[in-house]
Amino acid sequence: MIKRIFNLVARCRRYRTLWVEDLPENVAPQTVYILGGRDHPFYAAVVCPRRACRQVIHLELSPQVEKPWRLIEHSDGSISLAPSVHVTAMPCRCHYWFRSGRIVWAERPPFLVPKENKCYAR
């Protein structure tokens, strides 16, 4: 029940997308930073959406890495990322998707998520 309420609140909040050349020193919450140009984005960074965590999560978008995340930019400026973001290196162990600038929390337990979907915060 609590997870569903948290999911509903998270769906209401939209993340803004900033295209930057360098990651700022103070990364703002509810913001997805995309490094690289719109034609060739190579990196995304976002503050962990769990309030207790607040670590920066780094996602590789470059096609040169073995299994990159795919960035989809929508006409309204929001983004979606695929596959899911599953953080195992931090205590929060969060698992979610970015869909049209919103967080959609996973309902599955972390051990059921394929290994290739897991990212590690740096």
Per-residue pLDDT of the chain (122 residues; tens, 9 = 90+): 666 665 555 556 789 999 999 999 999 999 999 998 888 899 999 998 887 788 899 999 988 888 889 999 999 989 999 998 888 777 778 888 999 999 888 865 545 544 544 444 43
- pTM for the model stands at 0.76
The whole-angstrom separation of Cα 33 and Cα 44 is 5
Q: Helix %, strand %, coil % for the chain, to 5? A: 15, 35, 50
Number of neighbouring beta carbons within 10 Å of residue 80 = 16
Structure tokens at 21: 């050349």
